[in-house]
Chain A
């Protein structure tokens, strides 16, 4: 291999201040991608030995990653300082190669995508010429087939929406880009991954992908599916401004996500993602439970004017919920230090949490809290010295754990009390109801058919 390429790369990096990705290099010089990667590696090596100008590099690492007992294939683009970290986290490293070389230290991965975007656009017809991914059956559709495909397309789209309703909107807030791109990568190989793949929405999206991203193996990643609610979290919280519900845009987005190639997913970055994802699950449950209103037979007594909504949390079958509870405060804290920025994201979760505590339910818990307004007789001595008994509405809250009825507003107390309480919902609720009714005068129960018999 002649050494001219070293000068070429040098010119691009130092003189033009370009970001040289392997893909861009392969398209510009007309070489196979693997050759381009080797070129970059040699160049980096060469320059480092000379210890001349400061260069930064990003690497693409792909391998098996074990996350809570689930193995997944992780592909990520990391900065050089995070490389060793990333390699250490993987259980099996399949490939590591230089992704790009540039003079500037990149803060985020958007320029990497921009670099490839224009290069691929210019070579659109031949962008796969130098690629390492081959599929003999992948040929462009003829116009007739294209027409048929377009007609068929509306039919499958409702299906994935039904299947995975939580992954609804396209969260174009790729603050969690690595996870989103993992989902995208999986979708790209939808034929193979479909049986394993939980998230079938991306299959439809990525059918419309324009750009093929090489170097991606079909990973099986449950973590990705789990994280998709995280993206939805941001998609729901923010007002719909950057979100495009149009499918075409979504596909472009997901392809752009793919182009970004995961990102520099270092462990600290993954953690807030995981935390955010888990808090999403928590908030998802809030929203779901808010819409469910269970009507209990005992609610006759509790149909008061200002009744707060009762929440019954069904125990979720997914065991990962256990992790959700302790971690959910974390994203709140990470958001708080920001100087009153992004008010939408913190406030809706805060509002949700507040209203949760108001209605006295713990996210992910299986307890019932009720707050009701009860007619209670108040006995007092009035001005004339007569003992007067008046029936007064008091709002009281109670849980199955508490014997004492009137706790006007102590949500924290209630929740801690609830955390201590164990046991099933209905029985405890009835017990506590009976206890509270024992406290109050039986004669003050209203709207109960048995009240007639219980008077005096």
Chain B
């Protein structure tokens, strides 16, 4: 990004890239911390200059990448209101929901001189918060699985259904039972405000997990 002029950089794309990278790391970390998958498949990698746990399983990684690849256009256009990582128990009832609420300022104005190191610091804080979130959460029952939901503004998903961004990776409207959780407890984790995005992370937890 050294000598690009203002016209060259598509700010929306830049922001979407940053957020999708962050979401990928966050999802991997959530899977590690909440023990959705055995910790043996995770290995330490570096992101934002700190160690993070990422999975090595190729299919899992591919799934997460495809998911985020489809979400990216929504983020670019600021259509994605919330990205939710839902952890479900064996009967596919949600047990925990990690909600990333994000909103971008209507007019993105990043000068080429903007250093995103502040953003990096804020994202680092998010990562740290996820690592210690099990202080405030109860343990999950064994045999959990996860899924990613996107809440969009208006009817942006109609396009998604019509046009498959990735072949054989369809998005469907979520079931009622996946979206709603019985007796949720809200635990806020972190908020950040920056020039490019405002993001909030909170966890909704079911009161009785087993």
Contact = CB atoms under 8 A, between A and B. Distances in A.
Contact of B52 (A103, A110, A337): A110
Given A104-B133, A110-B53, A175 B124 contact: no
B174 interface: no
Contacts of B32: 107
Contact of B43 (A18, A103, A118, A173): A173
B124 A117 contact: yes
B40 interface: yes
Contact of B58 (A106, A113, A252, A343): A343
Contacts of A117: 49-50, 124
Given A172-B44, A242-B45, A110 B58 contact: no
A340 B57 contact: yes
A174 interface: yes
6 contacts: A106-B131, A107-B33, A110-B52, A175-B43, A341-B41, A341-B56
A113 B48 CA distance: 12
Nearest to A249: B46
Contacts of B40: 337-338, 341
Nearest to A343: B58
Interface of B: 32-33, 38-41, 43-46, 49-53, 55-58, 121, 124-125, 127-129, 131-136
A91 interface: no
B108 to A, nearest CB: 26
A103 B135 contact: yes
A103 B137 CA distance: 11
A103 B121 CA distance: 23
A37 B43 CA distance: 31
A102 B124 contact: no
A114 interface: yes
A3 interface: no
A212 to B, nearest CB: 17
Given A118-B121, A338-B40, A343-B58, A172 B46 contact: yes
Interface in A215-246: 242
A162 interface: no
Contacts of A172: 44-46
Interface string A279-298: 00000000000000000000
B62 to A, nearest CB: 13
A441 B131 CA distance: 73
Given A117-B124, A118-B124, A172-B46, A110 B51 contact: yes
Contacts, number: 89
B51 A174 contact: yes
A338 B51 contact: no
A361 B39 CA distance: 35
A83 to B, nearest CB: 20
A337 B41 CA distance: 10
A340 to B, nearest CB: 7
Contacts of B129: 17
Given A102-B132, A103-B135, A114-B128, A260 B45 contact: no
A103, A105, A107: most-surrounded residue (chain B CB, <10 A): A107
A111 B128 CA distance: 6
B44 A342 contact: no
B44 to A, nearest CB: 5
Nearest to A174: B44
Given A174-B44, A175-B43, A339-B38, A102 B135 contact: yes
B51 A260 contact: yes
A110 to B, nearest CB: 4
Contact of A108 (B53, B55, B128, B136): B53
Nearest to B56: A342
A329 B78 CA distance: 52
A339 B131 CA distance: 24
A115 B128 contact: yes
A265 interface: no
A385 to B, nearest CB: 62
B41 A110 contact: no
Given A19-B128, A103-B132, A107-B33, 9 more contacts: A106-B132, A107-B39, A117-B49, A117-B50, A117-B124, A172-B46, A174-B44, A253-B46, A338-B40
A260 B53 CA distance: 14
Given A107-B33, A341-B56, A17 B132 contact: yes
Interface string A111-130: 10111011000000000000
Contacts of B52: 110
Contacts of A111: 128, 131-132
Interface in A177-218: 177
B135 A242 contact: no
Contacts of B124: 114, 117-118
A17 B135 contact: yes
Contacts of A338: 38, 40-41
